[in-house]
Amino acid sequence: MSLQQQPAAVRRRATLSASPIEREIAIRSLVPGDIITLKPGDLIPADIRLIDSENFLVDQSAPDSLPNACLMGAQVIHGTATAVVVGTGPATCLGSEAEDAIAAMLAVSATYFSLLRPACRAATAIICSGLLLSAAPAHAQEGVSLYGTVDTGIGWTRVSGGDHLTGALSGGQADSLWGLRGSEGLANGFTASFALESGFDPSTGSLEDEDRLFNYAAWIGIGHDELGEFRLGRQHAIGQRFGDELEIASWADFGLGALFKASDNYQLSNTISYLSPELSGFQAGLSYSFNANDGEHFQTSRNARALSAGLRYDDGPLYATLTYDRMQPGHDGVHGSRSAQAWQLGASYDFEVIKLAAGWSRQSNGFVGLNGGDTTTDDLSEVGLSGAGPMEFVQGGRVDAWFLGASLPLGPGRALAQWSIANPDWTWRSTGERAKKVQTYSLGYVYDLSPRTSVYAFAAGGRNFSLDDTFTARNPTVSRIAAGLTHHF
């Protein structure tokens, strides 16, 4: 979809006394003063100034002399925003740059420039029109862009029965990473794209995964606005991509993924995925990993395989999703091991005065993301289930989990509150006691210094919750207080 074909979501009044109504209009119909809303994947249709934003990130930044501004043609990578249009068409920075370039080429001398001024204006109009109407791919601008996030702070953490820890905290609000993203428009409306993304610890400068440079993403894909998109390589499962959008408070170790492990920030290698085109707000997705645990067996069936499917609805203030994940162990299975499964169902709604989110998850026979700590045995590691959780969980256990979250604009920033509870159904073999309910809870505040930089502070805790393994028979209590700084580039 080209920039001029993309509709703009604008809020306008039918009459002066009527309430604003959000509707989609053609970009050419935008005028300065219009209020527009933006979501991930949108190309910014005009020069704008942000009114309100939440975790908002674009692939091109405006000059420092234009705070809280975004320029026409940039793409929304993450988050949502409400903005006012300040310039359209030739009156944008893109249009003015084209005019300046043409004027410089034609200004051979003052005499000739005065004679050629009408031609300059005509040429400027032609080139500006070409820039606005050129067929740019919807998923990203052509070329390669460098992007990333740096997040670090100071935290105090205490675990019951042990000492407390005070020191640098990496990724307090968002994971620190850097990446390369690129795309190329192909014939017949197709677009080729790729992403390479690496996590790191800004406190030490070390890679998050010492054995893998691009641990967060390493994929190549091809897509079409009317046919959808295929990706091949290391990437998130569909369930993770859809479920993660429900998260309100992403505090390190206490976000949605603390108990909703299918929505935690995990990736699968050797994966192919498909995302359907959006239809009236609905979108479906499917992904499959042929070797989810990077197993060394030549035969595919001897390595762990992962299936993920999801459906989501994203239109205006409402977001809803239903996902299913399945992690199947290698066929040389250990007695009692089964395929780990996870269902997730959730929704969020932005009332403007407050955003609310709620969800439910059922996880069976272990964690589908193999992200539950190293509590499984060597035998289970052989069939690709290392990190699936405690043996009591892997061999027939089940966990039902619920969460509630709220984001409230408060003063110059926003207050974030989130609570989750999980109810395991097994009995610990080491103690003979039934596993207790696990809770996590947090309260924090984020203040945006600019569209790309924010400061934050939060307090969080967990009851019967292990930072490393989630569920343990020790039933520890965890507390954390932290503050830090996040910058996107």
Per the listing, tokens 């089964």 go with 338
> What pLDDT tens digit does each residue of the chain (489 aa) get?
445 556 788 887 666 566 677 777 878 778 888 899 998 878 888 888 888 888 888 877 666 667 788 888 888 888 888 998 888 876 776 555 544 543 444 343 344 334 434 444 444 343 344 443 333 333 334 678 999 999 999 999 999 977 789 999 999 999 999 999 999 999 999 999 999 999 999 999 999 998 899 999 999 999 999 999 999 999 999 999 999 999 999 999 999 999 999 999 999 999 999 999 999 999 999 999 998 877 666 667 778 899 999 999 999 899 999 999 999 887 654 445 689 999 999 999 999 999 999 999 999 999 999 888 755 554 555 545 678 889 899 889 999 999 999 999 998 899 999 999 999 999 999 999 999 999 999 999 999 999 899 999 999 999 999 998 999 999 999 999 999 999 999
CA torsion through residues 415, 450, 28, 74, sign: negative
Q: Which residue has the tokens 């990706």?
A: 231
Residues 6 or more apart from 337 whose CB is under 8 A from it? 329, 365, 380, 383, 385, 394, 395
Instruction: Please indicate, yes or no, whether the overall pTM of this predicted structure exceeds 0.75.
Output: no
Give the residue ranges of DSSP H helices in 360-430: 378-382, 391-394
CA distance 303 to 268: 13
Q: Where are the beta strands (DSSP E) in 267-304?
A: 268-275, 282-289
Q: Which two tokens stand for residue 240?
A: 């993770």
Pick from 254, 319, 278: which is nearest to 79 by CA? 319
CB-CB contact of 451 with 50 (8 Å)? yes
Burial of 263 (0-12, 13-18, 19+ CB in 10 A): buried
Closest CA to 45 of 67, 76, 13, 23: 76
